Amino acid sequence: GENVEQHPSTLSVQEGDSAVIKCTYSDSASNYFPWYKQELGKRPQLIIDIRSNVGEKKDQRIAVTLNKTAKHFSLHITETQPEDSAVYFCAAYSGNTPLVFGKGTRLSVIA
């Protein structure tokens, strides 16, 4: 089955800097890659996703890139703000199974 690895597990950045979180997946049949943001005590929220027919997708300060050949995808957050502090999860979908999640990255944005 699918296996998703996520790095780093923790990330601290200064406010205004960029943050990058990377994930790799094992199943070449995977075709959908969402990212979730989970603030303390709240549910995971879908913030951006990418499908295997595109290489990059942007939504304001966040972007996701996908390299199908290397089987990795990344989340990029620019001009980070304190409210970006949260745990971020990547996930992969490969056909008939539910999403498989990475272990999460705790992002701290230091004002």
Partner 1 sequence: SAVISQKPSRDICQRGTSLTIQCQVDSQVTMMFWYRQQPGQSLTLIATANQGSEATYESGFVIDKFPISRPNLTFSTLTVSNMSPEDSSIYLCSVGDGGVNEQFFGPGTRLTVL
Residue type, 1: G
Work out which of 47, 63, 78, 101 binds partner 1, going by CB under 8 A: 101
Among 14, 43, 53, 111, binds partner 1 (CB under 8 A): 43
Residue 88 contacts partner 1 per CB under 8 A:
no
Q: Is 27 in the site for partner 1 (CB under 8 A)?
A: no
CA distance 64 to 95: 21
Binding site for partner 1 (CB under 8 A): 32, 34, 36, 42-46, 49, 89, 93, 98-99, 101-104
